[in-house]
Amino acid sequence: MIKLYARSYQRVLRILSPAMPWRVPDLLEGEDSVLDLPTKLTEKGVKNVLIVTDAGITKIGLMEPLLQKLNEAGILYTIYDKTVPNPTIENVEEAREVYEIKGCEGIIAFGGGSPIDCAKAIAARISRPNKSVTQLKGVLKVRKKIPPLYAVPTTSGTGSEGTLAAVISNKKTQEKFAINDHSLIPHVAVLDPLLTIGLPKHITSMTGMDALTHAVEAYIGKSTTAETRSYCTKAVKLIFENLYEAYENGSNVEARKQMQQASYFAGLAFTRSYVGYVHSIAHTLSGFYDVPHGLANAVIMPHVLRYYGEAVQHSLAELADVVGIGKGESLQRKANLFIEAIEEMNAKLDIPNKIEGILDQDFPKMIKHAQAETIPLYPVPKLLKNDELFYLYQAIQGTP
C-alpha cells in the first residue's frame, strides 16, 4: 500500500511538473562577476538589501569588494552573519526580523548552502508572514512572490543557487526538513570562481562530493527527463575531471570554474528530479550530530548505491560510460566499477568510509525521519524497508 501511494504521488508530480512555474536564474558568470551584482539590484529598483552570510565569510573579508560596489551604487545594506551550518529556524526568524526592521527590499545570500538556504526560508517567511517555518515544510506551501533574491555561492556543492529547496534544521526535534517551492528559485545567481579560491581542502572535497551526490541521485531516480539527465551527465563528467584538481591545487581558477558549473548543473537536475535515500539519511546525521552534509553524502553514497543493486545497474553503467570507466565490461561490472570509483575518489579526498559517533539508540528515530522525508516525495529506484535502513545505518556506523 505504501509503495502504491508513493509511486502514485510521484507519477502525479511528474505529470504536473512541465506545467509548473519553473524559473532559471539570470546568471552572472566569470571572474569578478560578483561586482556586477549592484547593477542587477539597480535594474530591479532595489535600494536596500539584507545580506545573509556567516561569521567566517565576514571575518575573512570576502564580501568587501561587493560591499564597496554597493556603497558606490548608493545601495543600503545590512549584514546578517549569524547563519550556522545546517541553518536553524532561529536563524530564519532572527534574520527576518532584521529585514523588516531595516526596511529591506531584497536579499543577497552570500556563502555556501547554509546562507543560501537560510535566505530562501527568510524570503518564504516574508511572503507568508502568517505561517511559521515548520508550516512551510513540504511541497508548494509558499506559492507567493518572494522579495528579489540574489544568490552568491562561495562553495561548489549545494547548487542551491538554482534550486527550489531550502533545508532548515529544527533543533528541538533534531529534524532537518525542506521547504520546496518554485517561488524560492533565486532570481539571479552569481558564479564567480574567484570566490571559491580560498576554500579549505576539506570544504572543497565535501562540497564537491555533495554535488556528485545530487547528480547521481537525480540520474538514478524514476522521475528523470532528457533535460535532467543531460544536466546530470554534464555534472558527473565535470566533477570527475576537476574535483581532485580543485582539491589539490585550490588556486586553479579553471578547475574552480568547472566545479561551479558542475554544482549548478547538478542543482538544476535534482530540483526537477529530486534526490533519494542518500540525502534523507544524510539529513538525519546532520540533524542528530551536526555532521556536515557533504561529508555525510560522500560516506553514505557508495553504501546506498551498492544496496540498490539491480535497480540502479543500468543507470550506473551509463554514468560509468560518461566518465570512461569499464569500457567493454558488462552492465553489472560497469555499475560496480562506478561505485568503486566513488570510493576511490573519497579516499583521494581524505574522506572516511564511516562516520564516528552514531548511537544505536538513535536508529529508530533517524529511520522514522529518513522514511518521512523520502516517502512519498523522492522517486527512489527502490523503496527500502525500515530493517534495510537499519542495516545501512550500521554500515555507515562501521558496525560489522
Q: Where in the chain is the domain with CATH 1.20.1090.10?
A: 201-397
What whole-number distance in Å separates Cα of residue 87 and Cα of residue 83?
6
Three cell numbers at 390? Answer: 537499519
Model pLDDT for residues 5-26, shown as the tens digit of each residue: 999 999 999 998 998 999 999 9
Average pLDDT taken over every residue of the chain: 96
Is 71 a residue whose pLDDT tops 90? yes
β-strand pairing of 76-80 with 48-52 = parallel
Model pLDDT for residues 307-336, shown as the tens digit of each residue: 999 999 999 999 999 999 999 999 999 999
201-397 belongs to CATH 1.20.1090.10: yes
* Mean pLDDT of the region 288-303: 96
Alpha helix (H) residue ranges in 128-276: 201-220, 226-248, 253-273
pTM value is 0.96
Contact 9, 377 (CB under 8 A): yes
Is 393 a residue whose pLDDT tops 60? yes
Is 258 a residue whose pLDDT tops 70? yes
pLDDT band at 75 (very low <50, low <70, confident <90, very high): very high
* Mean pLDDT of the region 262-271: 97
| Strand spans (E) along the chain | 26-29, 48-52, 76-80, 106-111, 138-139, 149-153, 165-170, 175-180, 188-191
Is 264 a residue whose pLDDT tops 70? yes
* Mean pLDDT of the region 150-159: 97
Is 400 a residue whose pLDDT tops 80? no
37, 40, 45, 50 alpha-carbon torsion, rounded to 10°: -30
Model pLDDT for residues 174-224, shown as the tens digit of each residue: 999 999 999 999 999 999 999 999 899 999 999 999 999 999 999 999 999
Note the CATH number of domain 19-196.
Answer: 3.40.50.1970
Which pLDDT score is estimated for 1?
80
Residue with the three cell numbers 540502479: 312
* Mean pLDDT of the region 228-255: 98
Which pLDDT score is estimated for 346?
98
What whole-number distance in Å separates Cα of residue 154 and Cα of residue 141?
28
Is 39 a residue whose pLDDT tops 60? yes
pLDDT band at 399 (very low <50, low <70, confident <90, very high): low
Is 398 a residue whose pLDDT tops 90? no
Contact 26, 187 (CB under 8 A): yes
Model pLDDT for residues 338-379, shown as the tens digit of each residue: 999 999 999 999 999 999 999 999 999 999 999 999 999 999
Q: Where in the chain is the domain with CATH 3.40.50.1970?
A: 19-196
